Amino acid sequence: MAVLVLLIAFLLFMVSDAVSSSAKDFQESTDTYIAYQITASQLKQGSDNLTKHVRSFVVTGKKENLDYYFKELNELRTYDTAYEKLLPMVAGTPQESILKMINGYEVKIKNMEAQSILLALDAYEINDSKYRDYLSEYSVTDFMNKLEKAEKLETATKMVFASGSQQIHYGDYDMFKKIVDDNIDTLIKQMASKAQEEQMGSMNTMQESVGHLRRTTLFLMCFILVVSFAILMYVVAPLLKNIDHINKHEYLEEKGVGEMKYLAKSYNQMFARVMDDQERLSYEASHDALTKLYNRQAYLDLSSEYEKRSICFLHIDIDDFKIVNDTKGHDVGDLVLQKVANILRSSFRSEDVLFRLGGDEFAVIMNGVKEGSDEIIHNKVDNLGKALADTSDGLPPITVSIGATYSNGNNTFNIIYKEADLALYKAKSTGKGKIVFYDDSLSSSISEIK
């Protein structure tokens, strides 16, 4: 019995060690992938931060934007730190050449940014020597030096904003940025694939080891009841319970012997990441990235839920938004869209549903609102107009035209939308910056739909 117990104890030790080793391999591959993904994301964040600050400086001429740029470049060093950390992680692998290629393009991007800054310094007549000291190793061509101030500012702007055919004259800044972003995505995908392979290998080994553990436990039960009971309590039972949690897509309980706790912890970390990714993807699929409101797809999915309810549907359009984009630039246009979204969000109730349908087009479903609530809605629209006219945030004043219609649950949402759209057209054609409610005088335009 003593020899048999020692033999079984040895077998248990071997199987337990195999489970622990597999769990550690699983954990290491997961930790490596997480660290790799975080570092690669920091690489992209550092590059994007530099781009954001240099573009802001070139457009506005504000020194604080330039200070942010050089702080990111010389103090925070987000990109350089991530690159230095990532390089030994991919050394000797195919990903090393991709990373070095990314860095090569980043050098070209920084060179274009430096030239753009030098031209902008001249154009804005900023003579602070510290900025030129930072850029002492860079220079612009004699041709660029001879440009007038307005031409220098235009050239500086185009160098960091040019896209499409403009790149022929002002450089390949956007193309280089796209190459950097695409290759960072490639790095992450390749590491994810590698981590998945390693995790599958560890899981297979772990499953085989668990099978051996069960057989050894059953064998031991034939000889020593106490040992059998201990194994059932602290190894097999927690394992079976965790398998049930896995089948139910639940977190594992970190109970049992050390190996089982380690396995549960590793699985829980992976499961948490999967759930987070699913939640993020679901959110991105239904929300507009710029305004955080529901997008057109969410509108199509949700609108049918409100066909049988009492609602007031508002179709909102920003007046002369194209002029804002053309005269102030798309960055200001984006800020205007965000401002409209934020004011809408604060103006309506939590049970009301807000959408950005695309471009400068918004919509609101006021849930549970019955016909005859014109005064309430007019008050909301008046407050909305006052907020949009406020220029204290540095944005130009804007107005919105609104078409509104009531529904008591007897119309399809296609008809509801058409009614609001006709009212919106009426609002725009009679002066803009107002709200028009749909009435029967407009009904002939939708007779075919009915």
Asked if residue 433 is part of any domain, the answer here is: yes
Residues 424 and 396 in one domain: yes
Q: Do residues 24 and 171 make contact, with C-beta atoms less than 8 angstroms apart?
A: no
**Are residues 8 and 46 both part of a single domain?**
no
Please report whether residue 198 resides in a domain: no
In a domain, 374, yes or no: yes
Q: What is the pLDDT along the chain (450 residues), one digit of tens a residue?
A: 788 778 877 877 787 787 777 778 778 778 878 888 899 899 999 999 999 999 999 999 999 999 999 999 999 999 999 999 999 989 999 999 999 999 999 999 999 899 999 999 999 999 888 998 888 888 888 888 888 999 999 988 988 886 655 544 566 888 888 999 999 999 888 888 887 888 888 888 878 878 887 888 888 788 778 767 876 877 777 777 778 878 877 777 777 777 777 777 777 777 677 676 677 777 888 999 999 999 999 999 998 889 889 999 999 999 999 999 999 999 999 999 999 999 999 999 999 999 999 999 999 999 999 998 999 999 999 999 999 999 999 999 999 999 999 999 888 999 999 999 999 999 999 888 999 999 888 766 544 444
Decide: 231 and 249 in contact? Cβ < 8 Å: no
Please tell me the predicted confidence (pLDDT) of residue 52.
Answer: 93
Q: Are residues 319 and 389 in the same domain?
A: yes
Q: Would you say residue 39 lies in a domain?
A: yes
Total tally of structural domains belonging to the chain: 3
**Quick count: other Cβ atoms within 10 Å of Cβ 94?**
8
CATH number at residue 78: 1.20.120
One domain, residues 246 and 390: no
The pLDDT value given to residue 448? 46
Same structural domain for residues 309 and 389?
yes
Rounded distance between C-alpha atoms, residue 189 and residue 13, angstroms: 38
CB 217 within 8 A of CB 231: yes
Whether the model clears a pTM of 0.75, i.e. scores above it, the answer is no
pLDDT of residue 445: 53
Rounded CA separation 151/193 (Å): 49
Does any domain span residue 232?
yes
Domain boundary residue, one of 286, 319, 336: 286
Chosen domain end from 252, 286, 320: 286
Give yes or no for a contact between 161 and 175, defined as CB atoms under 8 angstroms apart. no
pLDDT of residue 291: 95
What would the DSSP string read from start to end of 353-408?
A: EEEEEETTEEEEEEETPPTT-HHHHHHHHHHHHHHHH--TTSPPP--EEEEEEEE-
Could you list the residue range(s) of the whole structural domain that residue 333 is in?
296-446
Instruction: State which of 137, 162, 188 marks the end of a domain.
Output: 188
Same-domain status, 124 and 166: yes
| Residues 253 and 308 placed together within one structural domain of the fold | no
Residue 196 counted as domain residue: no
Directed axis angle between helix 2-60 and helix 63-71, to 10°?
A: 150
**Whether residue 161 is found in the same domain as residue 35:** yes
Is residue 291 one of the residues assigned to a domain?
no
Written as six digits, the tokens of 141 are 């061509």
Together in a domain, 70 and 111 = yes
Question: Residue 409 in contact with residue 400, Cβ under 8 Å?
Answer: no
**Residues 174 and 90 both lie in one domain:** yes
If asked whether residues 37 and 179 sit together in one domain, one would say yes
**Reduced to 3 states, what is the DSSP secondary structure of residue 145?**
helix
> Are residues 39 and 177 located together in one domain of the fold?
yes
Residue 73, domain member (yes or no):
yes
What's the CATH number where 436 sits?
Answer: 3.30.70.270
